[in-house]
Structures are given as structure tokens and as C-alpha cells.
């Protein structure tokens, strides 16, 4: 599975469309965070729909295109939007977009998402570095994969070295970066208060509808990965939390200033 003709085909489309240099870092931007591309210069954009094997569909708050260019001095590929399991029931929806990165030398990958918080000190509007995850949903993007490579180790799946660099970047940029364990719920309905109490009991600090399948895929492909949540709300029933999509999108957009500062510092030190 790791070596796949469709990855080269997708990479070929990027090259034809103007991705003419290295990729030093890849970023996936979650709900409401797409404006981070405003800081990019010499930018080429390619809609997902133009790339073989890329997922179609849309969710409000996600543009669904690739942006390649210079971000804070580094050559960066930005996924402006992602595909989620809840759109089609395919946990491997991001397989080709992430597998394609192997054709560009497997640059480090930073995922971002909007998440609900289960921890009183991770407040809406803030940022949290994901340290580990819990996947109790059942779906796994590697079901159907073959060979011993499918038995992917998940200790330190969230790369310790990248995490350290992100923490340093947060400290030097003045962005407040908490940390926590992320639990994947498939969505698209939000959790019930009882599910949130369960998640808390099981050791989760953050909940969301993405990221976990992407981290599993990235590790399968040998890509170093880290993930940051923008906290948009308290989990259902906690401190009056009643999450809904418009709030998620709008709070994430407002909170993206801190994330921009953090990326500026992270990329300039990369
Ligand atoms: N639950 C699941 N996904 C989310 C949430 C939430 O509370 N907030 C933002 N994305």
C-alpha cells in the first residue's frame, strides 16, 4: 500500500500545475483555519477536484484546495480543508493526499483541527498540542491494507521532536499552547453529554471528528506528524457547552491569529 502508482500520479498533477520546488512542510488546515494561506507568497492553488485520487465533497468552512508557496520563508504545501470520515464512511478518505507526500520526500506534516475541550484549563479560543489519541469508533484507515507494514506502531505517533519544536515556537511567539489527548468521534452529530462524560473518564482532553485517521495514515507512510487543536467550545454538557457548527467555524476563525503567530515562529526555525 505504501508504494502506490496513484501517489505518483497525484504528485505529477501538482508538478504540472506549478509545484516546482521542494516541500519543506505540509499543513492541513481544519474548519475555519483556511485564512492562514493569506500569509503565503508566490502561491499556486490547485482544487482537490483536479487531482487524481483526491476526495471530493465540501463542508462549510473548508475550501478544499491545495496551496503551494512560500510561507514565512519556507516552501510549504497547505491542504486548505480535508475530507472527513463522516462524509462518505471511508476512514481512508485522506489516503492519496497524504500518500502523495511520499513522492515529495515525506516532509513533516502538521495537522490542525477544531476541537471541543473536556479540560477546564483548555478554554475556547485557545490552542492545544495533541499528545496522543483514542480511537474507539471502530473504523481504521488501514483495514484492507496488506503486508506486515499495516501493523503500524502508535507509540509516539505524534512526533516528539516536532512537538518540542511547536512548543518552542509557541513560547517564542507568545501563543498559549496547552496539550491533551484527542478522542475521535465520527460525527457528524456532536456528542451527547453522556458520551463526553465517558470520554473524560477514559482519559480524553479533547474531542473532534478528524485527525485520527490522518495520523494513522501518515505513520503508515513513514511521515512524521504533529497536530494542533483550536479549541472552539467546551464538550457537550460541560460548563454549559452546547457545540454547533457555526460556533465551531466562527471561534476557529477568530482563534487563528494565535496559530498564525505560532506557524511563523515554527517555520522560520525549521
Ligand atoms: N465535538 C466534536 N467535534 C468538534 C467539537 C466538539 O465539541 N468542537 C469542534 N469540533
Residue 205, φ and ψ in degrees, nearest 5? -115, -20
Mean pLDDT calculated for residue range 251-268 = 89
User: How many angstroms is it from 102 CA to the middle of ligand 1?
Assistant: 30
Task: Give residue-wise pLDDT tens across range 86-133.
Answer: 999 999 999 999 999 999 999 999 999 999 999 999 999 999 999 999
Task: Give residue-wise pLDDT tens across range 11-43.
Answer: 999 999 999 989 999 999 987 787 889 999 999
Task: Name the β-bridge partners of 115.
Answer: 231
Cα separation of 185 and 137, whole Å? 6
Sequence spans of domains, the chain: 3-268
Q: CB-side exposure of 52: number of CA atoms within 13 Å?
A: 13
What distance, in Å, lies between the first and last C-alpha atoms of the chain? 30
Residue among 119, 137, 180, 209 to mutate when testing ligand 1 (max atoms within 8 A of CB): 209
Q: Options 3.40.50.1580, 3.20.20.10, 3.30.1330.40, 1.10.260.40; which CATH number does 3-268 get?
A: 3.40.50.1580
Residue 2 is predicted with a pLDDT of 45
Mean pLDDT calculated for residue range 223-248 = 87
pLDDT at 255 over 60: yes
Contact 248, 114 (CB under 8 A): yes
Cα separation of 260 and 175, whole Å? 9
Cα separation of 77 and 244, whole Å? 30
Residue 1 is predicted with a pLDDT of 46
Residue 186, φ and ψ in degrees, nearest 5? -65, -30
Higher-confidence residue of 245 and 125: namely 125
Three-state secondary-structure class, residue 158 = strand
Q: Which atom of ligand 1 is nearest to the CA of 243?
A: 7
- pTM for the model: 0.95
Task: Give residue-wise pLDDT tens across range 45-101.
Answer: 999 999 999 998 776 656 789 999 999 999 999 999 899 999 999 999 999 999 999
Task: Give residue-wise pLDDT tens across range 157-189.
Answer: 999 999 999 999 999 999 999 999 999 999 999
User: How many angstroms is it from 224 CA to the middle of ligand 1?
Assistant: 25
Amino acid at each position: 500500500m505504501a508504494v502506490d502508482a496513484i501517489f505518483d500520479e497525484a504528485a505529477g498533477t501538482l508538478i504540472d500545475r506549478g509545484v516546482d520546488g521542494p516541500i519543506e512542510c505540509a499543513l492541513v488546515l481544519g474548519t475555519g483555519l483556511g485564512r492562514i494561506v493569506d500569509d503565503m507568497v508566490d502561491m499556486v492553488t490547485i482544487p482537490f477536484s483536479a487531482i487524481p485520487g483526491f476526495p471530493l465533497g465540501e463542508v462549510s468552512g473548508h475550501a478544499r484546495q491545495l496551496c503551494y508557496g512560500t510561507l514565512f520563508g519556507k516552501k510549504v504545501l497547505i491542504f486548505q480543508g480535508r475530507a472527513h470520515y463522516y462524509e462518505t464512511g471511508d476512514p481512508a478518505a485522506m489516503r492519496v493526499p497524504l500518500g502523495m507526500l511520499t513522492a515529495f520526500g515525506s516532509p513533516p506534516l502538521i495537522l490542525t483541527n477544531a476541537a471541543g475541550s473536556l479540560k477546564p484549563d483548555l478554554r475556547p479560543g485557545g490552542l492545544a498540542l495533541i499528545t496522543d489519541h483514542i480511537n474507539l469508533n471502530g473504523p481504521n484507515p488501514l483495514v484492507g491494507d496488506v503486508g506486515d507494514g499495516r501493523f503500524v506502531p502508535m507509540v509516539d505517533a505524534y512526533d516528539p521532536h516536532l512537538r518540542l519544536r511547536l512548543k518552542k515556537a509557541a513560547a517564542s511567539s507568545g501563543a498559549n499552547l496547552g496539550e491533551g489527548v484527542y478522542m475521535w468521534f465520527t460525527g457528524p452529530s456532536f456528542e451527547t453529554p453522556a458520551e463526553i462524560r465517558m470520554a473524560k473518564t477514559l482519559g480524553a482532553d479533547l474531542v473532534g471528528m478528524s485527525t485520527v485517521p490522518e495520523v494513522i495514515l501518515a505513520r503508515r507512510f513513514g511521515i512524521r506528524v504533529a497536530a494542533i487543536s483550536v479549541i472552539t467550545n467546551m464538550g457537550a454538557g460541560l460548563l454549559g457547552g452546547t457545540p454547533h457548527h457555526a460556533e465551531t467555524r466562527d471561534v476557529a476563525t477568530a482563534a487563528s491569529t494565535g496559530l498564525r503567530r505560532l506557524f511563523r515562529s515554527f517555520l522560520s526555525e525549521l
